Amino acid sequence: MTGEEHLGGKLLEGVSRSFYLTLKALPQGLREPISLAYLLARAADTLADTPNITESIKQECLAEFDRLVQAETRDEAGERALCERLRQEFVPLQEDASEARLLERLPEAFDAYRKSAPRLVEATRGVLDPIVKGQLMDIQRFPVDGQLRSLTTEDELDEYTYLVAGCVGGFWTKLCASELEGAIDPKVSFDDMLVWGIRYGKGLQLVNILRDIAKDVRMGRCYFPAEELAAHGLTLDMVQADPAKLVPVTTSWRVRCREHLECGIQYLDALQHKRLRFATALPLLLGIRTLALINQADAPALVQGVKVSRGEVAKILLETGIANLRQGGLRKIAEKLM
């Protein structure tokens, strides 16, 4: 997966957007397996988000994708059948040309996956299973029928953040330990790194949920639990009519999000490899800055949506590169952005 014409080149850049900076910065031993896992997860995500496809067909295709990835023995006939179905039924409906190309090139991703070292296949299988489970749960919980629905309990939201992002922190940590000697400070236990990595991932997903409250409501999705809406005297009809009413419900989740991201700072502190530390820092610092903007915004601004500007992204990138050269420099930037 090297060069512009391979999976790790223009295709990866096209579908990964800002995360491409992180993938590109990774040390060689981690770049290819993490990039491949990202492409497979993104293909499943593209499948799940394709418009004008019934929920039952999406669930059927996602389940088949999961079966093919999880199978101990490769099913090439099954891969060909799924890829052909996606090419015919899903590719023409893509609004993003990069995502259409991703589905068209899924056979290459399957092939690269099956040619990976057994330990990498096992690690990739382990992260794709919860991701696909989370996508299937999303489809089941939020059918596209014009009605607004919410999660039921706090535990459901916590589980969701693990399934779609926290598990990636675990995967990242396992690969750091197995593929990059000396990546982690020997004074820090692997178990602590695993917990911090998972919480870091959960924090990034909570940033997305907190940032996109109005957008999600318009799509019929409220990730904040019904029990918390009720505690604030809210009904789904009230939220659908005015998404700004959700803002008070987000308060405790902003606190939890910050706590998760603080675990990400601890995670950074324990990384000894400079390229790895830089790559790991980028999503964290952008997430921290986005959370700060969320906390500073009033209800109308939150409904409108907050976003770190391109200029500020460039500034954070520059500061991150400089701070990474000195011990504790990234922590100082993170704490400043908080």
For the stretch 168-188, pLDDT in tens is 999 999 999 999 999 999 999
**pLDDT digits over 319-328, tens only?**
999 999 988 8
Q: From the CB of residue 280, how many other CB atoms can be counted at a distance below 10 Å? A: 25
Cβ atoms 246, 224 nearer than 8 A: yes
The residues that bridge with 184 in the sheet, in sequence order, are: 271
Residue 5's pLDDT band (boundaries 50, 70, 90)? very low
Q: What angle do CA 2, 278, 162 make, to 5 degrees?
A: 85
pLDDT of residue 6: 62
pLDDT of residue 19: 86
Residue 129's pLDDT band (boundaries 50, 70, 90)? very high
Domain 142-338 in CATH 1.10.600.10? The answer is yes
State the Cα–Cα distance between residues 300 and 246, nearest whole angstrom.
11
pLDDT of residue 2: 40
- Tokens representing 124? 């990739």
Torsion over CA: 338, 199, 281, 186 (sign): positive
* Per-domain boundaries in the chain: 1-132, 142-338
Residue 17's pLDDT band (boundaries 50, 70, 90)? confident
Average pLDDT, the chain: 94
Q: What integer is the mean pLDDT of 261-268?
A: 98
State the Cα–Cα distance between residues 143 and 160, nearest whole angstrom.
17
Residue 45's pLDDT band (boundaries 50, 70, 90)? very high
Q: What is the pTM of this model?
A: 0.94
